[in-house]
A and B are shown apart, each in its own frame.
Chain A
Amino acid sequence: MSARNAAAGGGDRVGGEPAADVLVEDKQSGSVSLPSPMTPASAAGMSATMEMPRKRKGSVDNQDTKSASMDMDIEDMDESHNGSDGEDQHVKMKCFREPHSQIEKRRRDKMNNLIDKLSAMIPTCNPMSRKLDKLTVLRMAVQHLKSLKGSSSSFSEANYKPSFLPNDELKHLILKAADGFLFVVGCDRGKIVFVSESVTKILNYSRAELIGQSLFDYIHPKDMGKVKEQLSASELFPRERLIDAKTGLQVQADLPVGAARLCTGARRSFFCRMKINKICVKVEEKEFQASTSKKKESQKYCTVHCTGYMRSWPTTQLGAEGEGEGEADKQDSSHFSCLVAVGRVHSHSSPQVNGEVRVKPTEFITRYAMDGKFTFVDQRATTILGYLPQELLGTSCYEYFHQDDLPHLADRHRKVLRSKEKIETNCYKFKTKSGSFITLQSQWFSFVNPWTKEVEYLVSTNTVISCDNSRTCRSGNKAEQSSTSKTSEDGKKSLPVIPGISTTPGAMIYAGSIGTQIANELLDSNKMNSSPSSGSVSPFSLSQDKCPHNQISNNVPNGEATDMEIAGKSSSEEDAQGATFSGAESLMGENPQMDLDSVVGPGLSSLSSDEAAMAVIMSLLETDTNLGEAVDFEEMHWSL
């Protein structure tokens, strides 16, 4: 509704207006009833003229009355001219939705409400302990208004255009709300012809300092070209680009460039960075502190949104100001062209300084694709992790997670893909560039496109946990790990750590595939959900091609020590989702469970990569001998 209407300027009904008929009735009743409560003498004369505006006001106030969707206090008082005239009620057309008494009651309540508000605003009414009657309040209001008008100057007298706000007040308010200043600059050399008082609040320069100066002296060097283009009449610049709102296409202006640019009324809208004067930046500083300071301070800028119009005046009216401009003007030398614009500063903060590390807590943000690969790394990560963003991009996060944390994190990964909420992880260890581990705790959530409702990527806010917390975190982790090892959830693949299950020699998966596996699960379950007929495809058949036997040592991209153990752990993960459902043989041929710690023993992480590789191979060969032992398959909760 709204999109089309807004775009096409259509005349659809305002949403939630079901009762048009009733509105019509009201208006009709309005027209037959007695005219305004104003002096009876003028009533007759007014009744005729009052129809039109009355109807409109009636609609303003009444349109929601019968509307079910709008639940507000409506002033239907335009019809209530007879509201307070108790007995002088004339026949109103029956409203089919409400009894007449209800309408009347509402009117009275509304009136009483207004009177109460009024008495609250009038100083003389306030101290009264008991509630004053309507007439008294009104009389006091009259007195109060008289006193207000008396103290203020005669701005709102009849000889002036009467207005609720004196114009200078209004101007003041506008500038305050807009956080802006008015400026007029000549097109030719950018001379500041006029600037309003409010510029001081924004740029900290006084009017005197600015008027007569060139605007370009106050603009960021890189934006000068942009501003010149907006002001300039030069033929050198490309033809105008205008957007046709209806089609969204760019159109070329038919007029020759110069004329089109400068025609009076032509709108301009651009952003530029303007200098902020350092003096008096902080109100606590002394006025001349900055000027006596010897150290070089970098120039501060703020981004100003300038919108305005081009205007052209004959130079004869301008005297000295126009002369110089007129001669230089390539166009009509008898005209002084300028831009009249308002510059506004937006509330959004200026760009963050790079490398800014928050005092508490240290954190950085990363973005993962659904399979856990880094697609975005906040520049703050470098100071924390030691990697440049490009070193991490494209690699899987699982390659950096400590082996102990893998089950937990994989579980979280699965959860976040299916949940709309933010998922917290426990503390976990992340491998830094130097090889050591840093303890992090993350908050993940899947970013869903508002329109398609599909997961586009995962956003992770990672907080660094200081060392003293790490112990508790770790233990928490372990507990989590053991508890999840035996549980399974409906529809989700559990990550059982099944001790004793042998592994065929060298059967390992590298870390990256954990994430891929998890992502594929989701995609396939979505596919299955949407097309049950195609459910014959096993969701786990994709992992069939994983982990050939001889990949122990070269399946790790960086060849770092700890990847081995991660790889070992990951195989257990893989199994869980496992391609193992296709049959017993695949169970053996695929990636059997292996708990590295239980098989190899703790302390693997302290080994160098070669040693670690050897250790794993040795352990695999050892466990080979256990192949014959019975394994209780019932314990494994494979969901199909």
Chain B
Amino acid sequence: MMTADKEKRRAISREAARRRRRVESEVFEDLSRLLPLQQSVRDHLDKPSVIRLTLSYIRMHTLLTGKTGTKAEASHKVKCGQVTDDQMVRHEFNGGCGEEEEKERYDADASEETNMYLRILEGFLMVLSTEGDMIYLSENVSKYMGLTQAELMGHNIFEFSHPCDHEELRNNLRVTAEEVWSGEKRDFVMRIKSALTHRGRSANLKSATWKVLHCQGRSKVCVAPSSVSCLLLTCQSLPLSHTLLSTQTFTSQHSMDMRFTYCDQRMTMLLGYSTEELLGRSIYDLCHTRDTNCLTKNHFNLCFKSQSVSGRYRMLVRGGGYVWVESHSAVIPNARSSKFRPGTNQPLCILCVTYVLSGVEEPSLQLSLDQTVHI
């Protein structure tokens, strides 16, 4: 049973608590007003999100206004004497309200260019800290993940990527001091949650699907005020349709173990093998041994992530020599299969679009048995 005294004390403490909360809320609101957000977005933020976005803002600012990024950048600027860094241009504009208009126009131009880049690349920009925090995401991320920039920025990538890809992701995030300074490159495929429906509308994350993204980029560091290093990545969704394949491109289909089940006649023109020769042959037999790792990685990506970009490898040409190629592949339902019954697992196959990058190199050199012996 509570005494009147206790009750009074309780009331006082409750009141004090309310006051504290009010003050806190006000500070949160002040903070959110300083963030570059549209009003409608700002209104919907909760406290942790405000902090999350504030952190992003500060981190990006630190990253961009810090001193020189990489060794290469620094010396390049100095030696070639070119203003290649737009940042420097921007700083020149600082101060002086007479240049407001110019700033505006400059920014508008940059905006258009930026939008064009993002549209052409068919991807969004992601800046990742070494712990995996998505410090910055370009606005068009909503087109790929179905969630807005404000909702995602500051969260950790591990919350949104497929668990089986986490180890690869961690390896990619790990940047040694040496690598960071040289602007080490990164290139990997990852699965990320997407709240988009078939028609491209944003839905609930509860029914999210996995989207395959091809992430390419490099590390960036800034030294002052504090050493911050991060990864700059463009994340592109891998297109499943390739338009206008040139004469230097061919398509092929494979069973899941990478044995040929089909290839178009351009393959014959470019590499000299007929379709009949190739059916049932493994792609591993046709490639330069030193590129086995590249092919295996590609194969792994296909098996687990369903899409992949191979990077460059060599395919041996009939009769001698090899060409450098790059393959963009995806796992698709095997439309040719007549065994499909509804309700069962649909058989899958691998579709590859292979771009030939070079001419035939070392045409007289026969490296593999396949090039010498009639199959």
Contacts and interface: CB of A to CB of B under 8 A. Distances in A.
A and B bind:
yes
Given A54-B44, A246-B335, A450-B299, A287 B163 contact: no
Contact of B17 (A87, A198, A354, A377): A87
B193 interface: yes
Interface centre among A145, A243, A268, A308 (most CB of B within 10 A): A243
Interface in B325-351: 326, 330-333, 335, 345-346, 348-349, 351
Contacts of A59: 204-206
B197 A11 contact: yes
Interface stretch (A158-166, A319-327, A604-612, A630-638): A158-166
B257 A250 contact: no
B55 A118 contact: yes
Contact of A271 (B32, B242, B264, B357): B357
Contacts of A449: 257-258, 282, 284, 299
Interface string B257-301: 110000010000000000000000010110011101000100110
Contact of B335 (A249, A283, A367): A249
B26 to A, nearest CB: 7
Contacts of B72: 283
Contacts of A42: 43
Chain A, interface size category, equals 35 or more
A77 interface: yes
Interface stretch (B1-9, B172-180, B366-374): B366-374
Contact of A37 (B46, B332, B367): B46
Contacts of B229: none
Interface stretch (A63-71, A433-441, A525-533): A63-71
A39 to B, nearest CB: 6
A307 B120 contact: yes
A118 B51 contact: yes
B369 A393 contact: yes
B251 interface: yes
Interface in A167-209: 167-180, 182, 196-198, 200-201, 206
Contact of B57 (A164, A167, A249): A164
Contacts of A3: 306, 331, 348
A261 interface: yes
A142 B34 contact: yes
Contacts of A456: 282, 284-285
Nearest to A341: B120
Contact of A77 (B49, B90, B368): B49
A230 interface: yes
Chain B, interface size category, equals 35 or more
B91 to A, nearest CB: 9
Nearest to A261: B244
B43 A340 contact: no
Nearest to A449: B257
Interface string A19-40: 0100100000000000011111
Interface stretch (A148-156, A292-300, A417-425): A148-156
Contact of A6 (B38, B43, B306): B306
B176 to A, nearest CB: 16
A153 B117 contact: no
B81 to A, nearest CB: 8
Interface stretch (A210-218, A343-351, A594-602): A343-351
Nearest to B155: A75
Contacts of B307: 6
A396 interface: no
A177 B218 contact: yes
A155 B44 contact: no
A593 interface: no
A586 interface: no
A93 interface: no
A121 interface: yes
Nearest to B298: A450
A2 B349 contact: no
B64 interface: yes
A164 B48 contact: no
Contacts of A267: 243-244
A53 B218 contact: no
Interface stretch (A108-116, A486-494, A504-512): A108-116
A529 to B, nearest CB: 20
A632 B85 CA distance: 85
Interface centre among B107, B307, B358, B369 (most CB of A within 10 A): B369
Interface string B158-201: 11001100000000000000000000011100010101011000
A56 B204 contact: yes
A377 B217 CA distance: 35
B306 A365 contact: no
A59 B193 CA distance: 12
22 contacts: A2-B305, A3-B348, A15-B163, A37-B21, A38-B25, A39-B29, A63-B208, A74-B159, A84-B47, A135-B24, A167-B107, A169-B87, A174-B118, A178-B216, A179-B216, A268-B243, A283-B80, A348-B311, A354-B365, A365-B289, A379-B367, A459-B292
Closest A-B pairs by Cβ, 6 of them = A77-B48, A245-B240, A347-B185, A162-B36, A177-B217, A177-B232
Given A111-B51, A179-B216, A378-B289, 16 more contacts: A2-B210, A37-B24, A38-B45, A69-B163, A118-B54, A142-B34, A153-B93, A166-B107, A178-B121, A243-B242, A243-B245, A245-B240, A283-B72, A342-B121, A375-B369, A390-B366
